Structure 1
Amino acid sequence: MVTIKEIASAVGVSSATVSRVLNYDPTLSISAAKRQAVIETAEALNYATPRNRNRAAAVNGAAQALVPGATKIALVHFLEPAQELVDPYYVGVRLGIESRCQALKIEVVKVFHTKSLPDPTVLQSASGVVAVGHHYGEEVEWLRRHSRHLVFADFSPPGEVDDSVMSDVGHAMTRLLEALYDIGYRRIGFLGWIETFYGAENLHAERRCRTFIDWMTKAGLFDPDLCMVERLTPDSGYTLAKAMLSKPNPPKILITCNDNMAIGAYRAVHEMGLKIPQDVAVASFNDIPVAQFLGPPLSTVKIPAELIGETAVDLLLERLSGRDISKKIVLGTEIVWRGSTPPPVDASAPRES
């Protein structure tokens, strides 16, 4: 487990500064470059554990044989650089792509999202394209049209023509709800965001939200007041948690759509004079590095961001080597139990204090 002191030493700032950056302290005055360095270093150090290094070395050795000469990959991101820093999970996906490419001596050209589509020659001049995150409608068709080979990372568009790698967050939500039910929770709240599909907003289309509603309804526990979503902003977790916990019959546990929203929820809980998990527990998704540093540490579903990025590169190399049948890979998730929830019923389940 990486420590705040290690991150501070690597970046050249104080431990207090690292803590405030990772907790998205709005009062902290720090340059954008230094903030980016803290977040990327935290993710990179968390990723570079001995286990991950050994696994990556073994896979890199096998993948090297698939790399043709003068390979260049275009990484097309669905977020702007500043937006990526608000959600370090996607920093992890990108670092997985970049680290795999660096180990295999593959050039990477990064293209971040803007209000207009980028110059298509960037894609056309690359051996292949890895598209990170959610691309819809015309963007998907544009990527297909200008890419020699195309792989989607953390997203799978409809149809069977594209390679993709992602985790099944719907299945992960089901597992989390079942575990919380076994612990004894019945008043369960959900905080999420409004997903946009092909230009149209759908309040409950996001997979974690949809699964939450379906599962709670089948269990006879669904209360519309305990499912709140809004257009995602850096303050969404805070504003939604404060609104939900102010209701006459608030939930006993909050499930947030990702760890960044959980950070905001923590702030709302503390401002209201409540304690985690005694008054309200919190569980989330992603397991970004800051999750282990919150007080108390956050229980969260670990989604293997870096491995998603690595696997996307490997799928692209397979395409370059001649594979012509599409692959859709679904990677597993793991619930990491920490202090923000009571212990799971199964005493042998992994738990971090």
Structure 2
Amino acid sequence: MVTIKEIASAVGVSSATVSRVLNYDPTLSISTKKRQAVIETAEALNYETPRNRSRAAAQSLGAGLKIALVHFLEPAQELADPYYVGVRLGIESRCQALKSEVVKVFLTGNPPEATILEGASGVVAVGHYYGEELEWLRRHSRHLVFADYAPAGDVDDSVLSDVSLAMTRLLEAIHSMGFRRIGFVGWVDAFYGPDNIYSERRCRTYIDWMTRAGLYDAELCMVERMTPDSGYTLAKAMLSRPNPPEILITCNDNMALGAYRAIHEMGLRIPADVAVASFNDIPVAQFLGPPLSTVKIPAELIGETAVDLLLERLAGREVAKKVILGTEIVWRGSTPASADAAASSKKA
């Protein structure tokens, strides 16, 4: 294998210079002739960067593997949620590129035969898992990666976006627009039960931030067990109250679709009477009337990264890794334009 030192010797420059040239360092001061000589010498000697070597190794490692994709939603529920479809497609496309086989398992109700997981090289679990389900996955998986979820502790590989940070940035931007009566509708996290219905991360962050800002009103925070009509029923109930919110944040874009329906039925205008903002940026968000402002969460990249984490485990990595992918606020017509809001939409 050709080394940077050998390229440096052939060109007559330092190893550090070769490294900076091959990594396209824009701050490096070097003549065009020398830079070209380094690149041409590296190509002539078939030098591969560590990144390219790792990519080639991953391609080789992935060929012929069997990966179990375990989903926490039933098939019909997943198809109704474009965000989780995106996560799955990311997993499947990455496996296809690696020539790995994907076996889909839907972990709802009674668990499937453990031999399905035990016979796979590794498992990518999509969604949230608690208690017995979580321990069942850990017990029967050779290698396990969680996509869009990170269990408590530091023993599991996981990849997700920080929706708490995203909610904070969204609230800061909305506040900068002049909104003070900010409503939130979301769902109850099934794990925590009826005694802690506000435990979902976006909801908890909303309550904490609004409380610190001196703006929290319990009547403007409504949650329920998730159903296809949750966004509609919660938005209609909140907007029917005597002092409704000026802007409504929904926990995801599916709920925003229901909120839009409720708002239109009530004869209200978006954003003139009530603005709307949400999470996920599913494909239909940009085609609503008006288009929906929403936090973009990279669903497909979450799925792809989960597969890459699994390959790292198979290659020998022993320390658990948690990957946090950035988010971005995409401002559209459902909220008023604001320079401050645009500034707050930097990636998290």
The TM-score normalised by the length of structure 1 is 0.80
Residue 142 of structure 2 aligns with an amino acid whose one-letter code is R
Q: State which of 330, 334, 342 in structure 1 corresponds to 2:336.
A: 342
Q: What residue number does 2:212 align with? A: 218
Mapped contact 2:172–2:344 kept (Cα < 8 A): no
Quick one: structure 1 residues 133 and 347, their matched pair in 2 at CA, closer, same or farther if it must change by over 3 Å?
Answer: closer
Report the 3-state secondary structure (helix = DSSP H, G, I; strand = E; otherwise coil) of the residue aligned with 2:70: strand
Residues 191-210 of structure 1 mapped to structure 2, 5 A cutoff = 191-197=185-191, 202-210=196-204
- For residues 350 and 229 of structure 1, what CA distance do their matches in structure 2 show? 27
The alignment status of 1:240 with 2:234, answered yes or no, reads yes
**C-alpha displacement at 1:349, in angstroms?**
4.8
Structure 1 residues 60 and 282, CA, compared in 2 at 3 Å: closer, same or farther?
Answer: farther
What residue number does 1:87 align with? 81
Contact 1:299–1:341 (Cα < 8 Å) also in 2: yes
Find 1:145's aligned residue among 107, 131, 139. 139
| Residues in 1 aligned to 2:133 and 2:275: alpha-carbon distance in whole angstroms | 39
* SS at 1:195 equivalent: coil
- Preserved contact between residue 192 and residue 199 of structure 2 (Cα < 8 Å): no
Greater CA drift, 71-80 or 191-200? 191-200
Q: Is the 8 A contact 2:173 2:340 kept in 1?
A: no
- Does the Cα contact within 8 Å between 1:92 and 1:305 map onto a contact in 2? yes
Please state if 1:172 is matched with 2:166. Answer: yes
| 1:108-127 equivalent positions in 2, closer than 5 A | 108-127=102-121
Report deviation, 1:197.
Answer: 1.7
TM-aligned CA deviation for residue 62 of structure 1: 4.8
Given candidates 253, 262, 265, the residue that maps to 2:256 is 262
Report the alpha carbon displacement of residue 81 of structure 1 after superposing the two structures with TM.
0.4
Q: Which amino acid aligns with 2:149?
A: F
Which residue pairs with 2:23 in the alignment? none
Structure 2 unmatched runs, 5+: 1-51
Larger CA deviation: 267-276 vs 66-75: 66-75
Corresponding position of 1:48: none
Report the alpha carbon displacement of residue 200 of structure 1 after superposing the two structures with TM: 6.6
Q: Distance in 1 between matches of 2:239 and 2:298?
A: 31
Shift of residue 214, structure 1, vs aligned partner = 0.2
Q: In the TM superposition, what are the counterparts of 1:58-69 in structure 2 within 5 Å? A: 61-62=55-56, 64-65=58-59, 67-69=61-63
Aligned equivalent of 1:288: 282
> What are the Cα deviations for residues 164-207 of structure 1, in whole angstroms up to 9, with x where unaligned?
00001001000000000001110000000010226676310000
The question of whether the paired residues in 2 share the 8 Å contact of 1:60 and 1:103 is answered with no
Contact kept? 2:293, 2:330, Cα under 8 Å: yes
Q: How far off is 1:113 after superposition?
A: 2.8
Matching residue within 175, 178, 187 for 1:184: 178
How many residues are matched? 294
Deviation at 1:115, TM superposition (A): 1.1
The reply to whether residue 301 of structure 1 matches residue 295 of structure 2 is yes
Measured in 1, the distance between the counterparts of 2:110 and 2:316 equals 33
Distance across 1 between alignment mates of 2:319 and 2:223: 38
Q: 1:271 to 1:347 in 2, by over 3 A?
A: closer
Correspondence for 2:153: 159
Give, in angstroms, the shift of residue 159 of structure 1. Answer: 1.3
User: Separation in 2 of the partners of 1:309 and 1:63?
Assistant: 20
Larger Rg: 2
Q: Distance in 2 between matches of 1:85 and 1:141?
A: 27
Contact 1:66 1:318 in 2 (8 A): no
Give distance in 2, aligned partners of 1:348 and 1:200: 38
Distance 1:255 1:127 in 2: 41
> Take 1:87 and 1:174, find their aligned partners in 2: how far apart are those partners?
24
**C-alpha displacement of 1:345:** 2.6
Distance in structure 1 (CA, Å) of the matches to 2:215 and 2:342: 28
Which whole-Å CA distance do the structure 2 matches of 1:342 and 1:181 have between them? 12
Q: Aligned to 1:265, what secondary structure does the other structure show?
A: helix
Deviation at 1:87, TM superposition (A): 1.4
Q: Structure 2 vs 1, CA of residues 294 and 224 (structure 1 numbering), >3 Å: closer, same or farther?
A: same
CA distance in 2, matches of 1:78, 1:179: 33
Taking only the aligned residue pairs, the percentage that are identical comes to 76
Change (3 A) 1:111 1:63: farther
Q: Deviations over 1:71-101 (max 9, x none)?
A: 1100000000011122110000000000000
